[in-house]
Amino acid sequence: MRAPPSWSGYVKTLAATALGLVGLLTAFVLVMDPYRNVPFSPPMERPLMDDNQRFLFPGVVRSGGFDSAVFGTSTGRLLKPERLNRLMGGRFANLSMNSAMPWEQYQIADLFLRTVPVPRTVIFTLDHVWCWADADTRRTTFRPFPPWMYDDDPWNDLAYLLNGKTLEIAWRLAEYHMGLRKPRLGADGYERFVPPDEQWDRAKVEAKIYDGPKRPIVLQAPPYVPSEAERRDWRFPALAWLEDLLRRMPAETRPVLAFMPVHVAAQPPAGTVHDARERACKDRIARLGAEAGAWVVDFRIASRVTADDANYWDSLHYRVGIADWLEDTLAAVLRGGSEASDGTWRLLGEPRAGSPRRAPVS
């Protein structure tokens, strides 16, 4: 007569199988090391395979391959490191992140300053988020942010690596080595995320820019004039993080603060209280830049560039040709350029003559 099934045996077999599977998956993740944060992973090529730059960019910073960087949101992501290298010298990484809050930008810039002994050029592409009154509490988006990747202890990262997302990115990396998948981003963080120019369609683009039919930009008259008490009450808490980063930069580092040229439809209409508040924020950033010896360049103004729908894919994202113009303009500013003759940008501040920051661009 057969013995009845042993439930304890089933449980032991099931537990052993589960533990074995967990062990195999853990070993797979640790060997592939898709985020380059496992201290003992074997050497291999690890291109950037994720679509959340917040997980990828700490590894880019720690790679040791870059001495210059671009920080910001998606409005700065089209600045090409390869062109910046040629125009400004150095080895650039574009570390701008989609919809990055100021706190998130501060985290990656802080890591860069802690990691790179003497950064050569640091470009902050600034958006309206730096002027938010609640930026100190509105720190992240719906996208996960891994603070453990931004500290100086690589071992604490291991506790967070066994999850479905990391397994997915590790498998993408395996597919890359099998020739089945291309990298998500370039090794320098760059990605041309906008469509090819031949796909540009005026009707579709204008619908995105104006959130419907094209309409004129209405200016407020008479313009709103805030009282001194109101101006004093305006809070820009994120600027404390920007001030900290500027203060910590070595004298040889060239810091650039550049307000990005979003379409006029995305800028506060002139004369409104929102316009007055943004101007006050820009004034404070310009003062911070002056105190730190930074170049402060404002492209976020009404101009022939920002008023031309043909330069954009939507109200925030310009076409690649505008990115080329931005790169050329910033390089010219570092070489001593001043105001734009056509009013497309303004120089709000620059290092004093004789400053170590004014070393020739090469």
Whole-angstrom distance, CA of residue 38 vs CA of residue 154? 7
Please answer whether residues 53 and 185 qualify as being in contact, where contact means their C-beta atoms are separated by less than 8 angstroms. Answer: yes
Average of per-residue pLDDT across 199-212: 96
CA 118 to chain centre: 20
Q: What is the pLDDT of residue 3?
A: 58
pLDDT attached to residue 259: 98
Confidence of residue 13 (pLDDT cuts 50, 70, 90): confident
pLDDT of residue 122: 98
What local confidence, expressed as pLDDT, does residue 127 receive?
97
| In contact, 297 and 258? CB cutoff 8 Å | yes
**Are 125 and 256 spatial neighbours (Cβ–Cβ below 8 Å)?**
no
Q: What does the alpha-carbon distance between residue 24 and residue 326 come to, in Å, rounded to a whole number? A: 48
pLDDT 10s digits, 58-80: 999 999 999 999 999 999 999 99
Model confidence at 5: pLDDT above 70: no
List the one residue out of 109, 68, 77, 112 whose CA is nearest residue 96: 77
Higher pLDDT, 7 or 73: 73
Model confidence at 338, pLDDT cuts 50, 70, 90, reads confident
CA angle 353, 344, 204 (to 5 degrees): 145
What pLDDT does residue 273 have?
Answer: 94
User: pLDDT > 70: what percent of the chain?
Assistant: 98
In this model, does residue 166 exceed pLDDT 70? Answer: yes
Q: Which of 359, 128, 138 is nearest to 255 (CA)?
A: 359
- Output the pLDDT for position 310: 98
pLDDT value for 326: 98
Question: For residue 108, what pLDDT is reported?
Answer: 98
Cα 90 to chain centroid distance, Å, stands at 19
pLDDT of residue 106: 98
C-beta of residue 67 within 8 angstroms of C-beta of residue 81? no
**Whole-number Å distance between alpha carbons of 283 and 261:** 17
Strand (E) positions, the chain?
Answer: 68-71, 92-94, 121-126, 254-259, 295-298, 346-349
Tell me the pLDDT band of 2, cut-offs 50, 70 and 90: low
Cβ proximity of 323 and 80 under 8 Å: yes
pLDDT tens digits, 233-277: 999 999 999 999 999 999 999 999 999 999 999 999 999 999 999
345, burial (CB in 10 Å: exposed 0-12, middle 13-18, buried 19+): buried
Is the pLDDT reported for residue 1 higher than 70?
no
320 contacts 214 by C-beta, under 8 angstroms: no
Distance of CA 34 to the CA centre of its chain: 20
| Cβ atoms within 10 Å, residue 205 | 20
State yes or no: pLDDT of 9 exceeds 80. no
| Helix, strand or coil, per DSSP, at residue 296 | strand
Residue 68: what are its φ and ψ, rounded to 5°?
A: -140, 155
Average pLDDT of every residue of the chain? 93
Q: Check residue 147 and give its pLDDT.
A: 97
Domain edges within the chain = 52-135+195-358
pTM of the model: 0.93
Beta-carbon neighbour count of residue 12 at 10 Å?
11
Q: Residue 221: pLDDT band by 50, 70, 90 thresholds?
A: confident
Mean local confidence (pLDDT), 127-147: 97
For the chain, the 3-state helix, strand and coil shares in percent, each to the nearest 5, are 45, 10, 45
Q: How far apart are CA 177 and CA 172, in angstroms?
A: 9
Residue 37 near residue 166, CB atoms below 8 Å: no
Query: Torsions phi, psi of 326, nearest 5?
Result: -60, -45
CATH numeric code, 52-135+195-358: 3.40.50.1110
Could you tell me the pLDDT band of residue 121, with boundaries at 50, 70 and 90?
Answer: very high
Q: What is the average pLDDT across 181-192?
A: 96
3-class secondary-structure state, position 263: coil
95 burial level (CB within 10 Å; 0-12, 13-18, 19+): buried
Q: How far apart are CA 203 and CA 187, in angstroms?
A: 35
